[in-house]
Chain A
Amino acid sequence: GENVEQHPSTLSVQEGDSAVIKCTYSDSASNYFPWYKQELGKGPQLIIDIRSNVGEKKDQRIAVTLNKTAKHFSLHITETQPEDSAVYFCAASISTLTFGKGTMLLVSP
Chain B
Amino acid sequence: KAGVTQTPRYLIKTRGQQVTLSCSPISGHRSVSWYQQTPGQGLQFLFEYFSETQRNKGNFPGRFSGRQFSNSRSEMNVSTLELGDSALYLCASSPQGAENTEAFFGQGTRLTVV
> A residues near B, CB below 8 A?
31-32, 34, 36, 41-46, 49, 51, 89, 93-102
A-B contact count (CB 8 A): 57
Q: Would A97 and B98 be within 8 Å (CB), given that A44-B43, A89-B43, A102-B42 are in contact?
A: yes
Q: Would A44 and B98 be within 8 Å (CB), given that A96-B48, A99-B42, A100-B42 are in contact?
A: no
B64 at the interface (CB under 8 A from A): no
Q: Would you give the shortest CB distance from B46 to chain A, in whole angstroms?
A: 10
Cross-chain contact of A98 among B45, B48, B105 (Cβ < 8 A): B45
> B residues near A, CB below 8 A?
4, 33, 35, 42-45, 48, 55-56, 58, 90, 92, 97-108
Q: Would A43 and B108 be within 8 Å (CB), given that A96-B33, A96-B45, A102-B42 are in contact?
A: yes
Q: Would A43 and B102 be within 8 Å (CB), given that A96-B45, A98-B45, A101-B42 are in contact?
A: no
Cross-chain contact of B102 among A34, A42, A94, A95 (Cβ < 8 A): A34
Contact (Cβ within 8 A) A97 B100: no
Give the docked Cα–Cα distance between A17 and B37 (Å).
Answer: 30
Q: Which residue of B lies closest to A99 (CB)?
A: B43
Chain B residues with Cβ below 8 Å from A46 are 102-104
Chain B residues with Cβ below 8 Å from A94 are 99
Cross-chain contact of A43 among B4, B44, B48 (Cβ < 8 A): B4
Contact (Cβ within 8 A) A93 B98: yes
Q: Would you give the shortest CB distance from B53 to chain A, in whole angstroms?
A: 14
Contact (Cβ within 8 A) B100 A51: yes
Chain B residues with Cβ below 8 Å from A41 are 107
Contact (Cβ within 8 A) A44 B105: yes
Known: A43-B90, A43-B105, A98-B45. 16 other contacts (CB 8 A): A36-B105, A41-B107, A42-B107, A43-B108, A44-B105, A51-B100, A94-B99, A95-B56, A95-B97, A96-B33, A96-B58, A96-B98, A97-B103, A99-B35, A99-B43, A102-B43
Cross-chain contact of B99 among A32, A44, A45 (Cβ < 8 A): A32
Give the docked Cα–Cα distance between A45 and B108 (Å).
Answer: 12
Q: Would you give the shortest CB distance from B3 to chain A, in whole angstroms?
A: 9
